[in-house]
Amino acid sequence: MSVNKNLKILIVDDFATMRKVIRNLLKQGGFENVVEAEDGLAALKILKSQQVDFIISDWNMPNMSGLELLKAVRGDDELKALPFLMVTAEALKDNVVAAVKAGVSNYIVKPFTAEVLNEKIEKIVKSLAA
């Protein structure tokens, strides 16, 4: 089964450059339908105003962290089923456990290649469709 490359993906990261980097890596995997938010609060606004199919969020952000965003998404009846990929700079055990408990679909540790990122997305989407 092939994954729909027209998925609308929301990238959440406080660094504009990192959003661009992720956008560039997604493009290499054929995902070009992308929207961006600079933190969890901005992401929630987008999620409430337009349809998004997949969330890729940084962990460390001001205002609302990736973990807080994940909890808000999972606690919202309209959004709770959305696939959520967490991006972290380090795979600290406590962070991973907290993210799994909060219902993260998967996580990815920086640095990562386009191949690894796109494989993670495809794996999550396929597991949801199964």
Partner 1 sequence: MDVRFINPFLNGTVQVLKTMAFVEPKAGKPFLKKDSLARGDISGIIGLTGSARGSLALSFSESSILKIVSNMLGEEIKTLNGDIKDAVGEITNMVSGAARKELETLGFNITAAIPTVVAGKDHSISHVLGGPSIIIPFETPQGPFVVDICIGSIAGQ
Between 79 and 112, CB nearer to partner 1: 112
- State residue 30 phi and psi, 5-degree precision: 90, 5
Eight-state DSSP code of residue 30:
T
**How many residues make contact with partner 1 (CB under 8 A)?**
16
Determine how many CB atoms are found less than 10 A away from the CB of residue 106: 15
The footprint of partner 1 on residues 87-106 (CB under 8 A) is 89-91
Residue of 7, 8, 18, 68 interacting with partner 1 (CB under 8 A):
18
Shortest separation between residue 128's beta carbon and partner 1, angstroms: 27
Shortest separation between residue 28's beta carbon and partner 1, angstroms: 8
Burial per residue of 77-105, b for 16 or more beta-carbon CB atoms within 10 angstroms, e otherwise = eebeebbbbbbbeeeeeebbebbeebebb
Shortest separation between residue 82's beta carbon and partner 1, angstroms: 25
Cα angle for residues 48, 41, 31 (degrees, 5° grid): 65
Residues in touch with partner 1 (CB under 8 A): 15-18, 20-21, 24, 27, 89-91, 109-113
